[in-house]
Every structure is written in C-alpha cells, then in structure tokens.
Amino acid sequence: MTKTLFFQALAKFFFGLLLVGLLVFLPAGTLHYPQGWLFMAILFVPMFFAGLVMMARNPALLKSRLDAKEKQREQERIVKLSGLMFLFGFVLAGLTFRFGWFVLPWKVSLGAAAVFLLAYLLYAEVLRENTWLSRTIEVQENQTVVDTGLYGLVRHPMYSATLLLFLSMPLVLGSLPSFLVFWAYPALIVRRLKQEEEVLERELTGYSEYKQAVKYRLIPFIW
C-alpha cells in the first residue's frame, strides 16, 4: 500500500460522490429525495469498502483501474457516450422526482436496490476470479484465459454484472424516464464486446478454444 495510491483512490472516490450527488439532488431541487439517498448509500458504501479490500489485497489491480484510459478511438467514443447516458439519466431522475413524472413506487426502488447489491457481489466475484481485469481493451503481459467460476457460464461476466448494476440504478432512483435512458447501455456494451473479442482472439492464447467451450457472451442460454 502506498500513500500516493491511497490518496489517488480517496480523491477519485470523493469526486465521484460529489459529482453524482450534484447530478441527482440539484435537479431534484431538494435534499429530501429518499430514493436518491438510498441510491447514494448502495453505490458508495460498498464501493468504499471494496476499495479498501483491493488496496490491501491487490493494489496493482486497483491502480490499473484508477489509471485506465482507452487508447482506441471507437472505445473512447463508447466511453463518452456512456458518460452522457449517466449524465442525462441522473439529471432526469432528479427532475422526475421534482416534477412527479412517472415516479415509481418505493417497493420497486427497494427491489431494484436488492438487484443492485446482488450485481455488486457478482462484480466483486469477477474481480476475485480474474486478476487481469482492465477497464480498457488490452491483453496484459503473462495473461491467461480464465474459464472457471462465472467465466464458465459466460465469457464476459463483468459486463453481465454491470448490465444489472446500470439498469437497476434508475429504478432505485424511482424514475421510469431515466430507466428508458439507461437502456442505451446494452447497445453500447454489445458494440464494445465485439471489438474486445476480436482483440482477445487475436492476442490471447487459448481464447479461440475458450469461445468454443463457452458459447454465451453475457446471458446464459440467451446470448
């Protein structure tokens, strides 16, 4: 554990906390937005403790995820479009609460929160299983194919987890309009996956055989 990595991680955590808080509560026009606080809690409390665990057990993985920057233009475009989706989706959720546009009942928010936390656990398991995980499309030195655990069910369990995470976010916030916005994510991730598989098949030994053994990309028995 280094002081530099610790303070870098802490700075990014508090910046994200402040940014998301502003995007959600400013459009809502009030801090009395219960679904907003529920969302902030389930997003940032597990994130904080997950960061501490990564700092203690695998600081190299934490550093690689903090420093990640896409090098391919197409992937940069997908990352930027995803950022716009989050921006528009969070602002729209706040406006939904403020003006009462198709606000979903509390039981939907609570159910979505349970799905979100389950997806968080799946994401943590993926990080445990695959120490070569990167936020960018690349093959790292000495990387090998992981084909056990969740990787024995689908080829990209990290994206499966993020699919659940991101589609549950607007439901936790109680916003049907925002939920419709977040449906842009599956289309974006499909575009990303196709290019990622091309890179892995070309540069990662054994990946072609892995594709034959594990047929499904994101959802078992479907796709």
pLDDT at 89: 96
Instruction: Note the pTM of the prediction, 2 decimals.
Output: 0.85
Task: Show the domains of the chain with their CATH numbers.
Answer: 3-213 (1.20.120.1630)
In this predicted structure, the answer to whether residue 127 has a pLDDT above a threshold of 70 is: yes
Half-sphere exposure at residue 204, Cβ-oriented, CA atoms within 13 angstroms:
20
> For residue 199, with 0-12 CB atoms within 10 Å meaning exposed, 13-18 middle and 19 or more buried, which class applies?
middle
Closest CA to 10 of 66, 82, 93, 89: 66
- 196 pLDDT band, cuts 50/70/90, is confident
Question: Where is 205: in which H helix or E strand?
Answer: none
In this predicted structure, the answer to whether residue 171 has a pLDDT above a threshold of 80 is: yes
pLDDT at 117: 95
Q: Which residue has the higher pLDDT, 17 or 127?
A: 17
Over the stretch 7-33, which tens digit does the pLDDT of each residue have? 787 888 899 999 999 999 999 999 999
Mean pLDDT computed over every residue of the chain = 85
Range scoring the smallest mean pLDDT among 26-30, 36-40, 53-57, 103-107 = 53-57
